[in-house]
Amino acid sequence: MTAETLTRDGLALEEAIASRIGQRTSGRLRRLRVEASAERVVVRGATSSYYIKQLALQAALEVTRSANGPQVELDIAVL
């Protein structure tokens, strides 16, 4: 696989995760950023409740299960 293919696949994964999180949380996760590599996915943002944080985690896991399972790391502040 070329570096270009890996970058394209990583961007597609980031977009898929961000989209699923947006759907599951109804947009209640602010400053959402997703960074993906072959080994892990980092989800960053802020929200007002731990419930929304849990929904974001569940959404990310739903997407990554079908993508050969990179580790999911949350960096979501509950304000």
Tally of domains in the chain: 1
The pTM of this model reads 0.82
What pLDDT is attached to residue 6?
42
Average pLDDT over residues 18-33: 96
Question: Greater confidence, 77 or 39?
Answer: 77
Phi/psi at 68 (nearest 5 deg)? 60, 25
For residue 43, the domain's CATH number is 3.30.300
Domain assignment of residue 52, given as a range: 3-78
Could you give the CA distance from residue 17 to residue 67 in angstroms, rounded to a whole number?
A: 11
User: Tens of pLDDT along 35-44?
Assistant: 998 889 999 9
Please report which helix (H) or strand (E) contains residue 19, including its range. Answer: helix 3-25
Q: What per-residue confidence (pLDDT) applies to 67?
A: 56
Say what the pLDDT of residue 65 is: 85
- pLDDT more than 90, % of the chain: 68
Q: What are phi and psi of 29, to 5 degrees?
A: -105, 110
> Of 37, 44, 27, whose CA–CA distance to 64 is shortest?
37
